[in-house]
Chain A
Amino acid sequence: MEQNNPILYILLAILVTNLIRVLPMLLIKGPIRNTFLRSFLYYVPYVTLAVMTFPAIIETTLTPLAGVVALVVGLVAAWFRLGLFPVSIICCLIVYLIDSLLPML
């Protein structure tokens, strides 16, 4: 069978991606007692999100400066617990302003 039907690729991708999500949840029953493992899993979300944020935030904007300023202001806003939505909007506005104003200077 010729492998050029997008539907088959899509169904396979859906299956594999969701199996990856479900397997650990099904295999781990109840709380983990091992201190190292518990500590490890506690750090995982913070480390993953931090690693994905930097340096990607600087690489995604049109000018690196916009990303740097958005990162710094976002860090400060998050430190003062402004919440998910306000911090996101602030970062977007900063990038929009800098990316559209900078070429005019």
Chain B
Amino acid sequence: MEVTDVNNRRHTNSNTLGQDILKGLRDGTPIALGYFAVAFSLGIIAKKAGLTASMGFFSSFFTRASAGEYGVYTLVAIHATYVELIAMCLVTNLRYMLMSAAFSQKLAPGTSWFHRLFMACCITDEVFGISVGHRGYTPPAYTYSAALISSLFWASGCAIGIVAGGMLPTHIVSALSVALYGMFLAIIVPPARRAPNVLYALIASFVLSGLCAIAPVVSEWSSGTRTILLTLLISSVMAWLRPFKNRESNGTE
């Protein structure tokens, strides 16, 4: 039964390559818009670190990490050591390890190493979000096209921010920056409608995340650290209290 499913899926994949690309571009567009706004403000910081527009474009296109890049640019600005830079990259991007592990379960069996490597490199919070939100196994073309359009906007936003930082009115930057969060909501809420366990996980996440932002000590930690710890804690407790019994809940639907 399962073997037939996989074969069917491969068959459909080759017929719907164009559809996967189009779908990736469509779902990648709101990400791209949100990225542009965030990268624009990131560009203002990159400029302070002494980056030119082309360096900002190059760096942002290949790094694609908001908190990570922010950390990197602040370190470049103060001429920190390379060890500090590596430590910063590890801490601010540790969640990508979790995402990469989760994403590995969404690739069709038999996916080539080439695709595994490049799909992993595509991981950002948002591209990962829509990729695991894809029904069934995630087609590589879907992730690639979403990653490409969003990375181009991300890199351009950073470059333009370096050149024209501070020229856009603040309330427009503020409005654009919520695009990302709106998109997160559109990713996480619909599955909660059909899976009560996801709903419980979301409620727990919102409540605990809100509490941690105002609690003493914990609120002093960086938001990246809180994100990692809360993700580990809540996902573990949910996996312990509400585990999956059958195979189909992860890869296929």
Contacts and interface: CB of A to CB of B under 8 A. Distances in A.
A70 B178 contact: yes
B186 A87 contact: yes
Interface residues of A, number: 77
Interface string B66-93: 0011001001100111100110011001
Interface string B15-51: 0000000000011011101100000000000000111
A11 B101 CA distance: 24
B76 A9 contact: yes
Interface string A56-78: 11011110001100110011011
Contacts of A67: 178
Nearest to B72: A13
A3 B80 CA distance: 7
B174 A61 contact: yes
B141 interface: no
Interface residues of B, number: 110
A86 B65 CA distance: 24
Contact of A3 (B79, B89, B251): B79
B205 A42 contact: no
A20 B97 contact: yes
Contact of B81 (A3, A35, A56, A85): A3
A44 B125 CA distance: 11
Given A91-B178, A92-B175, A84 B187 contact: yes
B102 A100 contact: no
Contacts of B109: 30-31
A7 interface: yes
B229 to A, nearest CB: 9
A20 B94 contact: yes
Interface of A: 3-4, 6-10, 12-14, 16-18, 20-26, 28, 30-32, 35-57, 59-62, 66-67, 70-71, 74-75, 77-79, 81-93, 95-96, 99-100
13 contacts: A12-B89, A13-B69, A18-B63, A20-B90, A20-B97, A25-B119, A38-B244, A39-B239, A41-B250, A45-B99, A47-B235, A48-B95, A51-B226
For the complex of A and B, the 3 pairs showing the least CB-CB separation, nearest first, are: A91-B182, A50-B205, A78-B189
